[in-house]
Structure 1
């Protein structure tokens, strides 16, 4: 999951952060997942082995909340409606709960690969 990201570049510059924050929120609102009550991490593809390992690390509360958000979104999709505006996911509630676990799994995999690549040299 190594992708090119400008996050660190933008995060170090408050001017750019303040400039791009409204654009990012508008883009997230236009994508529509917040109108169904979902969070950003709810729409990450689960078929990836790394994401599967990260999902196993969720707490019971996080897992139950995720399932409820999926059920509500599925019901709204069946009815071809969106939630009332007061039930939309707010930007401040759209926290990353799965991404830290994904980053941990990636770091562990990199560490395992580096450890497996060690060569023992006998003198």
Structure 2
């Protein structure tokens, strides 16, 4: 018998009480991590040194791949200068969430064409 699993994130999002409890903690963690002040996304921080990550990176559209490299270079320059970007250039949680939602929607509505 196969069991239906639900992700921890989805479980928290489905409960208004848990969401109210965990959201400030998640926001505080992201703020403390500091990657947004350098214009990076959470996905930019993930380990690339495995086959699955390399495959995902190779599937990026050319514009997204360019933007990713640009974010890294800009973050490196900020690091060298030892100062973050101007506040209006920081990555916002809304941008990251919208991007993730758009990506999820694209995959959920993808159609497969059978060719012979």
Identify the TM-score tier after normalising by the shorter chain: 0.7 to 0.9
Secondary structure of the residue aligned to 2:78 is helix
Matches within 5 A, 1:89-104: 89-95=91-97
Q: Which residue pairs with 1:74 in the alignment?
A: 76
Q: Which residue pairs with 1:113 in the alignment?
A: none
| Matching residue within 88, 110, 113 for 2:90 | 88
Quote the offset at 1:9 in angstroms: 2.3
Q: Which residue pairs with 2:25 in the alignment?
A: 23
**Which TM-score applies when normalising by structure 1?**
0.70
Q: Give the ranges of 4+ consecutive aligned residues of structure 1 lying more than 6 Å apart after TM superposition.
A: none
Cα distance in 1, alignment partners of residues 19 and 11 from structure 2: 10
Quote the offset at 1:20 in angstroms: 1.4
Cα distance in 2, alignment partners of residues 91 and 7 from structure 1: 16
Matched, 1:39 2:60: no
Secondary structure of the residue aligned to 1:46 is coil
**Which TM-score applies when normalising by structure 2?**
0.73
- Stretches of structure 2 that go unaligned for 5 or more consecutive residues are 1-6, 108-116
Cα distance in 2, alignment partners of residues 88 and 45 from structure 1: 22
| Matching residue within 10, 13, 24 for 1:11 | 13
Higher gyration radius (CA) = 1
Matched, 1:54 2:56: yes
